[in-house]
Structure 1
Amino acid sequence: MLRYTIRRVLQLALVVLVLSVLLFAWLRALPGGPVSALLGDRGTAESRAQLREALGLDDPIFVQYFAFLGRALTGDFGTSTGVSPGKPAMELFLERFPATIELSIAAIVIALIGAIPLGYLAARRRGGWFDNASVVGSMIGISIPIFFLAFLLKYLLAIKLGWLPTGGRQSAGLDATRVTGFFVLDGLLTREWDASLDALRHLLLPALALSSIPFAVIFRITRASVLDVMDEDYVRTARSKGLAKRIVRDRHILRNAMLPVVTTVGLQTGALLSGAVLTETVFSWQGVGQALAVGFERKDFPVLQVVIIAAAMAYVLVNLIVDLSYAAIDPRIRTAGKVG
């Protein structure tokens, strides 16, 4: 297991290195580049030349890249020019990162709580009305764009019915103690129950919108996987031996059916940031997704750099956890790695 872990870590480190090269090249290929982002349209030719020299943009491209890599390894991505002018990009990212993590965790928890049981039940009732309705519902969930669903939920549940807040992470004027940056958790840690409940009410609506695609994908994978496992010989053998339904379900069906589901959950968790950009914008959620959207709009290169690098590392880390979990569940993965 240790050798397998080390090999996967080295592979993923190489992936992050390649991504840093692509990010470096892409940002410098954007119209205007860092100089225009810092000076705007009013910069003179002299000031532009001075800034290019100060930023080292006249150096050879390889020298620029290694300088960029060195600063990135120390957390120095420069100062925000558009999202929060004057604030270090890393500091801004660290302030907003808990908001996106809180939203992403809530979304994937909602998806898991609903999708896995429904997928199992749909497979057990294959061909029935519940199965057909669930499949149609999952197809609708995959097809509806997140931003449209977010606006729809916001209008129905927040504006029309008034059940939930329209946006933000917490009600304005609420005196809440900040500990971790996770507002729901902060309220629990400080025993400010009203603050925790208020943060949870603000969290529910964007989390529902963001969970739609993971919910639909995990449901379909769970249903398909359970159907495959139910037709296996060892399941029929277990039933013919007279084992209790609970034992057959837990030990023989669900345990084996969860292998592809684990992979799917990891991929969907890593991909939540793309949906979070739209969701956070619709609900005025002060996370890194909203910062990324504003950064693109205002050409805030320092913020774009730190958010994209962090998103790539988060995706890679999630995939590493999934790989290790998969290897722990199915020892054949480790055995195949040793043979290869």
Structure 2
Amino acid sequence: MLRYAIRRVLQLLLVIAVLSVLLFAWLRALPGGPVSALLGDRGTAETRAQLEEALGLDQPIYIQYFNFVGRALSGDFGTSTGVSPGKPAMELFLERFPATMELSLAAIMLALAAAIPLGYMAARRRGGWLDNVGIVGSMIGISIPIFFLAFLLKYLLSIKLGLLPTGGRQSVGIDATRVTGFFVLDGLITREWDAALDSLRHLFLPALALSSIPFAVIFRITRASVLDVMDEDYVRTARSKGLTRRVIRDRHVLRNAMLPVVTTVGLQTGALLSGAVLTETVFAWQGVGQALAIGFERKDFPVLQVVIIAAAMAYVLVNLLVDLSYAVIDPRIRTAQKG
């Protein structure tokens, strides 16, 4: 188990190293580059040369890369030029990351709460109305673009019916205490129930929109995996022994069906953490995704660097945790590692 974990960590570090090279090369290949982003149309040839020297862009490309890695390891990605001018990019990222994490966790929790029970029940009643409704619903969920669904939900539930806020993380008039940056959790910790409830109302709609694709994918994987397991000999043997439905479900069906589901959940969670750009933009959710969108628009290279690196690290870390969880779910993996 330990050797497996070490090998996976080394693979993670290799992925991050390759990504850093690609990110470094890609950002410097964009039209204009960092100098144009800082100077705009006001720069002269002299000022451009001075700024290139100050930024080290006049040095050989491999020196620039190692300087970039050294600064990144110390948390220095430069100062924001477009998203929040004058603020260190890392500080801006740390301020906005809890918002994206809160939204992503809420979305994956909504997806799991609905997809796994419905996927199991649909498999148990294969060909029934619930199975057919679930399949059609999952196809709709995976087919509708998130930005369109976000606008649709916002129009129906916020603008038309007035049930939920149209955007933001909390109402302007709420005087809430900030502890962790997770607004709902902060309200619960400080017992400011009005702040927690208000934050939860703001969170529900973007989380619902963002959960559509994870729900569809997890539902279909759960259904297919449960169907496969239910056809196995050991499940039929358990039934012939007279075991209760609950024992068969918990010990034989769900436990063995969860391995592909866990893999899917890990992939979807990583994707949510790194891809909530459209949802955050529609709902004015001040998270990392919104910062990434603004950074692209305004050519804010320091912010782009820290957000892309952090998103990739979140993705590979989530998948590392998924890989390590395999040994807990499937004893055969522990046996293989010992061998």
Q: TM-score, normalised by structure 2?
A: 0.98
Number of the residue aligned with 1:225:
225
Structure 1 residue 127 corresponds to structure 2 residue 123: no
Partner of 2:295: 295
Residues 49/338 of structure 1: CA separation in 2 closer, same or farther (3 Å cut):
farther
**Residue in 1 aligned with 2:16?**
16
Give the whole-Å Cα distance in 1 for the aligned partners of 2:302 and 2:159.
Answer: 36
Does structure 1 residue 65 correspond to structure 2 residue 70? Answer: no
Q: How much has 1:326 moved relative to structure 2?
A: 1.0
**1:163-174, aligned counterparts within 5 Å?**
163-174=163-174
Q: Deviations over 1:276-323 (max 9, x none)?
A: 100000000000000000000000000000000000000010000000
Q: Shift of the alpha carbon at 1:337?
A: 5.1
Relative to the length of structure 1, the TM-score reads 0.98
Structure 2: how far apart are the matches of 1:148 and 1:123? 30
Aligned to 2:81: 81
Q: Is the 8 A contact 2:273 2:315 kept in 1?
A: no
Cα distance in 2 for residues equivalent to 1:241 and 1:131: 28
Question: Which residue number in structure 2 is paired with residue 190 of structure 1?
Answer: 190
Give, in angstroms, the shift of residue 109 of structure 1: 0.2
Q: Give the structure 2 partner of residue 251 of structure 1.
A: 251
> How many pairs align?
339
Return the offset for 1:94: 0.3
Q: Could you tell me the percent identity over the aligned residues?
A: 88
Contact 1:209 1:279 in 2 (8 A): yes
Partner of 1:35: 35
CA distance in 2, matches of 1:248, 1:336: 26
Amino acid corresponding to residue 53 of structure 1 in structure 2: E
Which shows bigger deviation, 327-336 or 43-52? 327-336
* SS of aligned partner of 1:271: helix
Letter in 2 for 1:264: T
CA RMSD of aligned residues (A): 0.9
Q: Distance in 1 between matches of 2:154 and 2:273?
A: 20
Q: CA deviation at 1:41?
A: 1.1
Work out the CA distance in 1 between the residues paired with 2:218 and 2:130.
17
Contact 1:210 1:275 in 2 (8 A): no
1:173 positional shift: 2.1
Q: Is contact 1:146-1:275 (8 Å) kept?
A: no
Return the offset for 1:133.
1.1
Alignment of 1:284-323 (within 5 A): 284-323=284-323
Choose 124-133 or 214-223, whichever is displaced more: 124-133
User: Where does structure 2 lack aligned partners over 5 or more consecutive residues?
Assistant: none
1:87 match: secondary structure: coil
Decide whether aligned partners of structure 1 residues 288 and 195 sit closer, same or farther in structure 2, where only a CA change above 3 A counts.
Answer: same
Equivalent positions of 1:231-270 (< 5 A) are 231-270=231-270
CA distance in structure 2 between the partners assigned to 1:279 and 1:338 by the alignment: 44
Q: Tell which deviates more after alignment, 321-330 or 145-154.
A: 321-330
**How far 1:174 moved relative to its partner?**
1.1
Partner SS, residue 276 of structure 2: helix
Which ranges of 4 or more aligned residues in structure 1 deviate by more than 2 Å?
331-339
